Amino acid sequence: MRRVFAEMTRRPSTLLALLLILVVVLSALGAPWLAPFAPDDQPFDGLSLEGAPLAPGAKYWLGTDTLGRDLLSRLLFGARTSLVIGLVANGVAVVIGMLVGTVAGYSGGMFGGALMRFTDLMMAFPALLLAIVLAALLHPSLWIVAMVIALVNWVQVARVVYTETRGLAERDFILAERSLGAGHGRILFRHIAPHLMPTAIVYGTLGIATTVLLEATLSFLGVGVQPPQPSWGNIIFESQSYFQAAPWLVFIPGAVILATALSFNLVGDTLRDLLDPTQRGRG
């Protein structure tokens, strides 16, 4: 891991992405101390005399929203929501995908085939549409949204892990372990699982970007995290009617979402190049 981290820091784009991720994480953790206002505070001078949001200025660095709340404070607290959902939802998705893919690939036969046909069935549904339906059926909240996203994002991991496990199960060292009488648990945890860890790390990183974008999309459509709890998606959703009069209310949260997703994608791509032996030497 030290070698991987050293290699990542030698790449300027990846180093910049790591710094941006660090800034977002520290901002989310330090939101109660960094935010100049509480996210739901509505100062008496937060709107103009005409009732319009205030442009960025000395007191409100990023301006105010349609209710006079400080946009910077809401972005900082919204980072906590988006990152919690990104980490929890993607973590659960990776665990489910690893479990299904490993069991299906190792067991094979009708049971493994049935698991993968179910995975294919889940892949046939558009992820966004399925997430909207599930979120609409359940009462949207932070944890419900995280679980909904996890339930639609595990299939890609399962498919990749299944293919890798099928290849590993036929390797000579696995066959030798079986001939020596090793149990299924020992083979899975001592020999197959370590070979799958690079895949888990790569998809665990790449999936955070997808999860953050999906959460923002659901919140923008009104079936994600519900106000007054701030998230980057519902900040844009609440401000879309002021797109022309106060464009900073849409552009600034959109730029934050874009920068965060791009940073996680860059880090994930670099990890894939370094950890996946099939990718080394390409490009």
First CA to last CA distance, the chain: 22
pLDDT confidence of residue 75? 93
Of the two residues 38 and 224, the one the predictor is more confident about is 38
Choose the most confident range, by mean pLDDT, from 95-99, 179-183, 237-241: 95-99
* Rounded-to-integer distance, Cα 73 and Cα 230, Å: 10
Contact 246, 239 (CB under 8 A): yes
Tell whether the model's pLDDT for residue 11 goes beyond 80.
Answer: yes
How would residue 281 be classed by pLDDT, with cut points 50, 70 and 90? very low
pLDDT tens digits for 110-129?
Answer: 888 898 889 888 888 887 78
Could you tell me if 89 and 150 are in contact, meaning their C-beta atoms sit under 8 angstroms apart? yes
Q: Which pLDDT tens digit goes with each residue over 156-181?
A: 889 889 988 888 877 777 778 777 77
Return the pLDDT at 276: 60
Between CA 59 and CA 38 the distance in angstroms is 14
Query: Mind listing the domains of the chain with CATH numbers?
Result: 11-28+70-275 (1.10.3720.10)
- If pLDDT is split at 50, 70 and 90, which confidence band does 212 have? confident
The CA distance from 47 to 66, in Å, is 8
Query: Distance between CA 225 and CA 218 in Å, rounded?
Result: 8
The model's confidence at residue 23, banded by pLDDT at 50, 70 and 90, is very high
pLDDT bracket for residue 73 (50, 70, 90): very high
Quick check: helix, strand or coil at residue 75?
helix
Question: Per-residue confidence at 190, pLDDT binned at 50, 70, 90?
Answer: confident
Query: Omega of the bond prior to 227 within 30 degrees of 0, cis?
Result: no
Contact 211, 149 (CB under 8 A): yes
How many C-beta neighbours within 10 Å does residue 221 have? 16
**CA dihedral (141, 147, 153, 157) positive or negative:** positive
pTM of the model: 0.82
CB atoms within 10 A of CB 112: 20
